[in-house]
């Protein structure tokens, strides 16, 4: 039975978490950390983690009070927890347009991606051990592919053009190769925003009986989903849900063998309050998505045009039209990405970067490398529901001076 999410209790214990967290706030303050509360800084990294949606906060508080029992047990309290889980699953499936029994909750987006790749491959091991994926998949998918190769499988990577769009002809040729068990294509690039031709890729794969896995982490909760896929994953903290909740959808009829403990797909290990919060925020985000996308698209258009016009020697990357509404990426010639990120942070702007100096491995973003675009001096701005035009305008007013100062410091003016 699918229960509506209105079945969830109203929040009654919001004061509880406040009380518990107060001492932590005090000690954090004594250690000199600035608490990031509300929008005192311009937070432009929603593609890494969106701020918690108010709907998630409400549902989390309510579910912590009412959803802590083991949903597999038979007494009333456990049945109540079970109802919450079913309601969360029903609401999430409804937003995704899938059947509730096709959806599982995982311990996060990375876990969902690993399960999707390894489970999709294992389900078709009799066909072969070959995985086809784009060169711009999220590192979680690429790490799963590496694990598959380390275990004796093979993987073929398909390149993208300068705008970051997968080479569809090459993708079609790769999925046609014998022994291909699974194909993977991200719904839209998490680094440059370019939307991928998922429906066409799915069709090409289906022509050879190959299921397509879509990492839709940047698309779920922000707009309509592509069609034709067999397996899909998402991550709640990208749409304003809590961290540590991933979604895995396996369509009926897809051959799939869950790697790891068999109970993983039955949600026995689920963090129930968090996934209730994830479901509530997904439903709220989906309801706002169209309006928000219009607003974000206008702001991102303004960033794309203004940065290109006011910052010399800058390359705005990604498809200018077929792109995610909330995300824009550009690279500034001769500028150290880490220095730029810190300079922006000092002015109250939180952004991310695909430059090598900002990564733990000191390698540039594999997405920028695959596109063949400048990787140093790279900035990704990604907006969320509380991002304002004032924040964007302040960013656009300050950025040219920040970049000019860094270039002057490095002695690279007029190069």
Interface positions with other proteins (CB under 8 A): 313, 315, 333-336, 355-357, 362-364, 368-369, 372-377, 410, 412, 415
Alpha helices in 311-379 (DSSP H): 337-346, 366-371
Name residues whose C-beta falls within 8 Å of residue 275's C-beta, 6 or more positions apart in sequence: 85, 88, 105, 236, 245, 267
CA distances (Å), origin 75, targets 69, 71, 250, 267: 10, 9, 31, 19
CA separation for the pair 215, 141 (Å, rounded): 8
231, 118 in Cβ contact below 8 A? no
User: Whose Cβ is closer to other proteins: residue 167's or residue 288's?
Assistant: 167
Question: Shortest approach of other proteins to residue 313 CB, angstroms?
Answer: 7
Q: Give the β-pairing of 103-106 and 246-250.
A: antiparallel
User: Whose Cβ is closer to other proteins: residue 273's or residue 354's?
Assistant: 354
CA separation for the pair 339, 334 (Å, rounded): 11
User: Whose Cβ is closer to other proteins: residue 123's or residue 364's?
Assistant: 364
Among 357, 394, 398, 404, which one carries the catalytic annotation?
357
357 is catalytic: yes
User: Whose Cβ is closer to other proteins: residue 212's or residue 373's?
Assistant: 373
The DSSP secondary structure of 191-218, one letter per residue, reads: TT-BBP-HHHHHHHHHTTT--EEEE-TT
166, 292 in Cβ contact below 8 A? no
Question: Shortest approach of other proteins to residue 369 CB, angstroms?
Answer: 5
User: Whose Cβ is closer to other proteins: residue 177's or residue 357's?
Assistant: 357
Q: Give the β-pairing of 154-158 and 42-43.
A: unpaired
User: Whose Cβ is closer to other proteins: residue 118's or residue 335's?
Assistant: 335
CA separation for the pair 106, 103 (Å, rounded): 10
CA separation for the pair 128, 136 (Å, rounded): 23
Question: What is the dihedral sign for C-alpha 25, 27, 29, 35?
Answer: negative
CA separation for the pair 386, 391 (Å, rounded): 10
Active site positions, annotated: 357
């Amino acid at each position: 039975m699918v229960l509506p999410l209105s079945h969830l209790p109203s929040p009654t214990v919001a004061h509880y978490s406040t009380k518990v967290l107060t001492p932590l706030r005090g000690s954090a303050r004594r250690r000199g950390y600035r608490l990031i509360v509300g929008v005192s800084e311009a937070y432009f990294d929603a593609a890494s983690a969106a701020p918690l949606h108010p709907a998630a906060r409400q549902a989390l508080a309510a579910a912590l009070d009412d959803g802590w029992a083991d949903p597999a047990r038979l007494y009333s309290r456990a049945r109540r927890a079970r109802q919450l889980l079913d309601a969360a699953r029903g609401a999430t499936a409804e937003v995704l347009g899938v059947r509730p029994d096709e959806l599982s909750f995982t311990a996060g987006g990375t876990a969902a991606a690993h399960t999707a790749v390894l489970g999709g491959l294992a389900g078709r091991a009799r066909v072969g051990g070959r995985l086809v994926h784009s060169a711009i998949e999220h590192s979680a998918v690429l790490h799963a592919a590496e694990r598959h190769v380390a275990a004796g499988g093979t993987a073929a990577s398909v390149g993208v053009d300068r705008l970051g769009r997968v080479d569809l002809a090459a993708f079609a040729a790769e999925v046609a190769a014998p022994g291909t068990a699974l194909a993977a294509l991200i719904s839209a690039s998490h680094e440059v925003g370019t939307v991928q031709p998922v429906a066409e890729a799915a069709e090409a794969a289906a022509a050879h009986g190959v299921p397509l896995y879509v990492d839709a982490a940047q698309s779920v909760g922000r707009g309509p989903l592509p069609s034709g896929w067999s397996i899909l994953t998402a991550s709640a903290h990208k749409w304003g849900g809590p961290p540590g909740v991933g979604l895995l959808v396996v369509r009926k009829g897809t051959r799939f063998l869950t790697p790891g403990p068999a109970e993983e797909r039955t949600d026995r290990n689920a963090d129930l309050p968090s996934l209730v919060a994830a479901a509530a925020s997904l439903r709220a985000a989906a309801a706002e998505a169209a309006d928000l996308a219009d607003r974000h698209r206008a702001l991102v258009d303004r960033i794309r045009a203004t940065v290109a016009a006011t910052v010399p020697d800058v390359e705005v990357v990604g498809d200018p039209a077929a792109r995610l509404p909330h995300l824009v990426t550009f690279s500034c010639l001769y500028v150290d990405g880490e220095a730029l990120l810190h300079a922006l942070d000092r002015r109250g702007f939180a952004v991310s970067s695909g430059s090598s100096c900002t990564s733990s491995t000191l390698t540039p973003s594999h997405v920028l490398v695959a596109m063949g675009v400048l990787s140093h001096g790279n900035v990704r701005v990604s907006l969320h529901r509380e991002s304002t035009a004032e924040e964007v305008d302040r960013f656009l007013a300050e950025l040219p001076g920040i970049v000019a100062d860094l270039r002057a410091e490095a002695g690279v003016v007029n190069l």
